[in-house]
Chain A
Amino acid sequence: MAEIHLTQSNWEEEVLNSDIPVLVDFWAPWCGPCRMVAPVVSEIAEEYKGKLKVGKLNTDEEPEIAVRYGIMSIPTLMIFKNGEVVDQIIGAVPKEYLVEKLQQVL
């Protein structure tokens, strides 16, 4: 798996201090659409290897981070650049749409 398992302890290093843009997938095990979009996120991680970091944050395990970023709906995909949120996508979307959003920041 090319995605990074994000936690409170590696959030700063992997997301905020990353040299390249980061796509964070906020998800939880009970969320059907989250589980079903996971393969798309994996494909993105493979296709953009080296240009984009892809991480997954389980909102169940890390509620503080979810609250900090105002997550009230999952799946939410957030794009970070230089430690800042530059875009977010709420809900399941077509892969094409996600790719389009990514191309704007890469």
Chain B
Amino acid sequence: MYDVIIIGGGPAGLTAGLYAARGGLKTLICEEKVFGGQIVMSYEVDNYPGFPKGISGMDLMDNFIKQAEKFGVEMNYDGVKSIEDEGKTKTVTLSSGTKLTTKTIIIAAGASPNKLNCPGEKKFTGKGVSYCATCDGAFFRGKKVAVVGGGDSAIEEALYLANLASKVYIIHRRDQLRAVKILQDRAFSNKKIEFIFNHVVKEIQGDKFVNGVLIENVQTKELSRLEVDGVFIYVGITPNTKFVEDLIKLDENGYIIVNDKMETNIPGIYAAGDIRVTPLRQVLTAAADGAIAASSAQIYIETKC
């Protein structure tokens, strides 16, 4: 029997693990894909306090993992299929079929990048279509690429790609960016970056590899083709809440509703990080959520179990 099982090994889950294990709780973190979460795809994190020179997402998460390990957190690479509430105990069923019992659960499964869902996207994934500029940017050295999106991630990654590619088009469906001002200023002053506002991608084209995108002006509906070798997609995220939707209360967009103690509608089950309804989704806020969730779980175990 675990005291706490944490679902997801990103900033929220790793911090929850660190706090729970440091508090003496028997703690397991289950991570289906990549320990570190979405932030390991970021080339540089320059707003996490304590690193005035900035730090790569990968190095920052390496530190999170080491620090959680130091306090004896167990970690496994297994997804979670479902969770059940039996009052004072809960059951977590892993993808492998193994059933584990625990007193509390912290759901920190984060969110996944959205797809464009246009023709060519799936076919050319890994053949010019990418969701990680840091991973794949080097394969586009001296080539032309398009970045789709207008938020912080899109602009940050476009700036990174501008160091490698000969030309970076930013295709955005609106007439202005959602990204914070400092990023906008950097992008607008970068000579390699060209903005294509009010356009959406209708099709990603190519033969063996991507050789262009078909774009549509959202106002005039006029179609045009842009010659590019790569398409990097940053069009928002969707919370990974499918496996808990029958049990846990979600908002209309699928995010978990919690109170300020990170408590969900089920006693002993908490949520933290990108997966919950929150006005800001950063490493810092996810980590803070994780700490609060672990502390709430500890109080629950001490008083209710």
Q: Of all chain A residues, which has the CB nearest B57?
A: A32
Q: How many residues of B are in contact with the other chain, CB < 8 A? A: 36
Q: Of all chain B residues, which has the CB nearest A75?
A: B135
Contact status B34-A74, CB under 8 Å: no
Contact status B138-A30, CB under 8 Å: yes
Q: How many residues of A are in contact with the other chain, CB < 8 A? A: 30
* Contact among A36, A73, A90, A94 with B79 in the assembled complex (CB-CB below 8 Å): A94
Contact status A94-B33, CB under 8 Å: yes
Interface string of A8-41 (1 = CB under 8 A from B): 0000000000000000000010111111110110
Which B residues are closer than 8 A to A by beta carbons?
32-36, 39-42, 56-58, 61-62, 77-79, 95-96, 125-132, 134-136, 138-140, 208-209, 230
What are the residues of chain A within 8 A of B130 when measuring CB–CB? 72-73
Contact status B79-A96, CB under 8 Å: yes
- 10 A-B residue contacts at CB 8 Å? A30-B138, A36-B40, A36-B58, A39-B77, A73-B125, A73-B126, A73-B136, A91-B126, A91-B132, A96-B79
| With contact pairs A72-B209, A74-B136 given, residues A32 and B56 touching in the complex (Cβ less than 8 Å) | yes
What are the residues of chain B within 8 A of A74 when measuring CB–CB? 135-136
Q: Would you list which residues of chain A between 66 and 89 have a CB under 8 Å from chain B?
A: 66, 70-76, 88
* Interface residue? A105 (CB, 8 A): no
Contact status A31-B134, CB under 8 Å: yes
| With contact pairs A32-B40, A70-B209 given, residues A92 and B33 touching in the complex (Cβ less than 8 Å) | yes
* Interface residue? A101 (CB, 8 A): no
Contact status A72-B33, CB under 8 Å: no
* Interface residue? A64 (CB, 8 A): no
What are the residues of chain A within 8 A of B209 when measuring CB–CB? 70, 72
